[in-house]
Structure 1
């Protein structure tokens, strides 16, 4: 798979996820749908954020490292995009339960950082 086809695929998936997030926001009532509606919202936000973070990280790598190194680091950008999306979703869930304070956010960031260090040490 070339870098260009990967980027176009990620753009399409991210755009589709953005439309699904809009559909969840406009058509799902969280009070009537209960936990399923809230789960669908967080799932749609996760897919949008992971796609956006993936594209942003890949773009930054392509600028600073060049085209060849960006192709070699596609899986790294994908994993880091997913981890950043998990971090944002974790912070949003804490905020939705009114439990978010700055040290809890730092713990979420530290947890994601430790997971990334684990993956980097296995390579």
Structure 2
């Protein structure tokens, strides 16, 4: 798969995820749908954020490193995009339960950082 095909595929998937997020926001009642509606919301947010972060990180690597090295770092961008989405989602869930305090957010950030360091040390 070429870099161009991967980027176009991610763009289409990200647009689909953003439209799914919009549909969840406009067509579900969080109080009436219960856990299913809230779960769909968080799932749509996760996919939209991971696609956006993936494309953003790949764009930055492509501008800084060039196309050849950007192709080699697709896996890295994908993993970091997912980890950033998990971090934002964890902070959002803590806030929805009114449990978010600044040091809790720092612990979530540190946890994601440690997971990324683990993956980098294995390479």
TM range (shorter): over 0.9
Alignment of 1:45-60 (within 5 A): 45-60=45-60
By how many angstroms is 1:88 displaced? 0.1
Aligned counterpart, 2:21: 21
Alignment of 1:29-108 (within 5 A): 29-108=29-108
Which of structure 1's runs of 4+ aligned residues deviate more than 4 A? none
Count matched residues: 123
Cα distance in structure 1, aligned partners of 2:119 and 2:37: 33
After superposition, the C-alpha distances for 1:56-82 in whole angstroms (9 at most, x for unaligned) are: 000000011111000000000000000
Question: Unaligned regions of 5+ residues in structure 2, if any?
Answer: none
Question: Unaligned regions of 5+ residues in structure 1, if any?
Answer: none
